[in-house]
Chain A
Amino acid sequence: MSLLCADTPNLMATLADGGIELLWHPSLSEASGADVIALLQACEAGLQRLDVLCVEGALLRGPKGTGRFHMLAGTGRPMIDWVQSLAARAHHTVAVGTCAAFGGVTAAAFNPTDACGLQYDGDTTGGLLGADYRSGSGLPVINIAGCPTHPDWVIETLLALAMNEVSVQSLDAIGRPRFYADHLVHHGCARNEFYEFKASAEKPSDLGCLMEHMGCKGTQAHADCNTRPWNGQGSCTNGGYPCISCTEPGFEEPGHPFAQTPKVGGIPIGLPTDMPKAWFVALAALSKSATPKRVRENATADHTVVTPAIRRTGRK
């Protein structure tokens, strides 16, 4: 559904113009029932070419390995059985969303449905298809992780596949397209000045940085959410709530309440990626002591209460 928010004048034309023929999509295509089953059987038998198999949703192996928690309607066959069979024929296999990639929220708590991803079970390789699985192209499963995924991540991956421009080098260590996964959510966050001075939000709707108290993982999460806006001008941090690291395996069980930062001795446990702890602590203490009044007061308000001073720019 997130895909349908794509910022393009005509989503169908964008795909078609990129050389992508949509064989079947459960929300968009006309075919139901026997027509769909015939199509899937043709793919399975190798009679219909299957260039890209896109799977959305976790793969449910339960109960007791039977897959009966998710049967494909009208076929009497578990979905995991269909996916295994189709993946064996697919030139490329793509996991759309964190559930299909790693198991995601469906695998939270004690994982009641024995859910996993296509090629990962959390951060362990394996999943439904196994660590050694390679699609016809020789690539592992391409993990467009995110809960939800940004529509552009899906479209641009599919268009790149159609241009034959996806290689092992264009995927990161856990199979995510690097064009969005080599960024951090922190990049371009509109709260950056508050971050610089450790001027923190204390409650929902505060403008300050969400890292110190509100559980934000934007400095660790791999995604370009703040440089590639959502639904026009949005992002999680723009929406007033923390990044929960939804592109990462295991985000569903952070080990602390989602909107609360775990701390030891008043210091957040989750430091920014690649940042040595001692330096972070030292810099945080220094920047906190240097916080301008404007930044400090705005951090705990829901609108700008102190405006930036206007300084003379011209030299005349």
Chain B
Amino acid sequence: MSRQILGPFNRVEGDLEVTLEQADGRVSAAWVNSPLYRGFEQILQGKVPMDALTLVPRICGICSVSQSAASAAALADLAGVTPPPNGARASNLMLSAENLADHFTHFYLFFMPDFARDAYAGTPGFDAVRARFKAVEGSAAAEALPARARFLQLMGTLAGKWPHTLSLQPGGSARAIQPAERVRLLSLLREFRGWLERHLFGDALEAVSALESSDALWAWFDARGPARGDLARFLELSKTLGLDSLGRAPERYLSFGNYPIDGRRCFAPGIWDSAVGAVHPLDTRDIVEDISHAWLAGSTNKHHPLVGETHPDADKTDAYSWCKAPRWRDKVVQCGALARQVVDGHPLARSLVAQGGGTVMSRVVGRLLEIARVVPMMEAWVRDLAPGEPFCAETELPDQGVGVGLVEAARGALGHWLVVRNGRIQNYQIIAPTTWNFSPRDAAGTPGALEQALVGTAVGDGADMPLAVQHVVRSFDPCMVCTVH
């Protein structure tokens, strides 16, 4: 039995340290530490509620718009305002642009470069993988970065800029789209679709989102081979390296549902419990945050976020992270693109989870599947924009009240809980996606999702940073700066 402290982890957003206990060449226990504290929940107290729209996007440089969207949703809930059809579509376009850019960035810049490491030299097909995915030098980074920058030009038109927009408002969007701009947005989307179909999928987006099962995915792969595109190259690596059985996290999947439009959400909310084989309805009263192992003091060990507390206490005994431990009905859940697709009932996502569970492979496929599904939605939202009709409903905030904003960021369920008294923010509590996935233990001693997913991972003798561990960690696409807002 030996202990090893791993860090810093590159190509994850923010600061992460993982302590592993090993026995017989496998991880026997893991502790996940977020070694950075930000203080945003403390900063927000006492501000006028609308100032949250300026402050919360600055929690993060990569999930900035999702923080804005959650804040706008919480303020809209407080005010009882509903964006007009244009406003809902423009807001969805902003959030989806960031979400897809983040999936894309994760795949090409954060996750795949690990397979191009020298440690894999000599494995079948390595030279091609290295040429394609090598960090900084690979052909994929050279091609993906300008494609990403072009795609994010959507945000120049829709939102002034990315990151840190203030176009997102409780009543919709402060930026009304004009007829010629609508044409430009469609053209940018067509350009991105073309890139994805040529390089990432080697097939039409609709063909990818029509895949109905794990078997259908492998049949699709067999019919093409790894030269067909980057998804196929990833599937080849999955097969060779057993990524379909690596990093299995607890079989409960949380999604707040995403992209509200015309009274419904395009991706359904809920909690999929594999053991039951059904979706539980989402009820935010089932959510608590446990602080027993976080460097935070509180009147009790767990709180519902509406009465949540954030008081840093760096000297607390038994604590090992600045991250709180959110739980659903006292249970650990995982969130992210895979969870979203499973809860929404996409047959490929359900099938992958039924066969192997939430693993490195299914989490990555979940993200790419979502790219294929969302680009056509974005095209439809742009077509539906009606220039000349309003984009933003007038919002009047009450002096007292409560607002809850639930959205899905790229990395999963993001919730803002806002309490206003005398026209000022009395409490503002945020639960970010990676807070769910990378939480420490709770009062019952139950480890968080990543802590569980790492157990059983094979670790080579003497490796400083076992690659399998890195694959598992990065498969969640963690955002640590949001985690410890």
Report chain A residues within 8 Å CB of B190.
none
CB within 8 A of A5: which of B5, B51, B162, B178? B162
Judged by a CB distance under 8 angstroms, whether A22 is at the interface is yes
Given contacts A12-B136, A109-B42, contact A234 B157 (CB under 8 A): yes
- 16 additional A-B pairs beyond A148-B164, A231-B161, beta carbons within 8 Å, are A2-B163, A11-B145, A30-B116, A35-B465, A69-B312, A69-B322, A71-B35, A74-B6, A109-B43, A113-B39, A205-B172, A205-B174, A232-B156, A237-B160, A241-B165, A303-B178
Instruction: State whether B160 touches A204 (Cβ < 8 A).
Output: no
Instruction: State whether A205 touches B156 (Cβ < 8 A).
Output: no
Instruction: State whether B39 touches A5 (Cβ < 8 A).
Output: no
Given contacts A4-B105, A72-B8, A302-B176, contact A230 B160 (CB under 8 A): yes
Instruction: State whether A9 touches B146 (Cβ < 8 A).
Output: yes
Instruction: State whether B156 touches A231 (Cβ < 8 A).
Output: yes
Instruction: Give the interface segment out of B204-212, B238-246, B363-371, B386-394.
Output: B386-394
Docked Cα-Cα span, A10 to B44, in Å, equals 39
Q: Please name 18 pairs of A and B residues whose Cβ atoms are closer than 8 Å in the assembled complex, sorted by A.
A: A12-B141, A22-B136, A30-B113, A32-B8, A33-B9, A34-B465, A35-B465, A69-B312, A74-B8, A104-B58, A148-B61, A205-B169, A233-B157, A239-B166, A242-B166, A244-B54, A259-B50, A302-B392
Instruction: State whether B160 touches A234 (Cβ < 8 A).
Output: yes
Interface residues of B in 281-311 (CB under 8 A from A): none
The contact string, 1 if C-beta is below 8 Å from chain B, for chain A 226-270, is 000111111111111110101000001000011100000000000
The contact string, 1 if C-beta is below 8 Å from chain A, for chain B 131-154, is 000111100011001101100111
Judged by a CB distance under 8 angstroms, whether B221 is at the interface is no
Judged by a CB distance under 8 angstroms, whether A191 is at the interface is no
B: residues with CB less than 8 A from A are 5-11, 13, 15-17, 33, 35-39, 42-48, 50-51, 53-55, 58, 61-62, 105, 109-110, 113-114, 116-117, 134-137, 141-142, 145-146, 148-149, 152-167, 169, 171-176, 178, 312, 314, 322, 387-388, 390-392, 394, 464-465, 470
Instruction: State whether B157 touches A232 (Cβ < 8 A).
Output: yes
Instruction: State whether A33 touches B8 (Cβ < 8 A).
Output: yes
CB within 8 A of B61: which of A2, A70, A109, A302? A2
CB within 8 A of A10: which of B35, B145, B464? B145
Shortest B469–chain A CB gap in Å is 10
Report chain A residues within 8 Å CB of B39.
69, 106, 112-113
Report chain A residues within 8 Å CB of B141.
12, 28
Shortest B325–chain A CB gap in Å is 19
Counting chain A CB atoms within 10 Å of each CB, the highest count among B7, B113, B135, B314 belongs to: B7
Given contacts A68-B314, A236-B166, contact A205 B37 (CB under 8 A): no
Q: Tell me how many residues of A have a C-beta within 8 Å of chain B.
A: 71
Judged by a CB distance under 8 angstroms, whether A66 is at the interface is yes
Judged by a CB distance under 8 angstroms, whether A1 is at the interface is yes
Judged by a CB distance under 8 angstroms, whether A53 is at the interface is no
Report chain B residues within 8 Å CB of A244.
54, 166
Judged by a CB distance under 8 angstroms, whether A211 is at the interface is no
Report chain B residues within 8 Å CB of A233.
153, 156-157
Instruction: State whether B6 touches A33 (Cβ < 8 A).
Output: yes
The contact string, 1 if C-beta is below 8 Å from chain B, for chain A 67-80, is 01111111100000
Judged by a CB distance under 8 angstroms, whether A139 is at the interface is no
The chain B residue with its CB closest to the CB of A236 is B160
Judged by a CB distance under 8 angstroms, whether A46 is at the interface is no
Counting chain A CB atoms within 10 Å of each CB, the highest count among B38, B62, B117, B135 belongs to: B38
Report chain B residues within 8 Å CB of A35.
464-465
Shortest B261–chain A CB gap in Å is 19
Report chain A residues within 8 Å CB of B149.
4-7, 231
Judged by a CB distance under 8 angstroms, whether A203 is at the interface is yes
Judged by a CB distance under 8 angstroms, whether A29 is at the interface is yes
Report chain A residues within 8 Å CB of B159.
234, 239
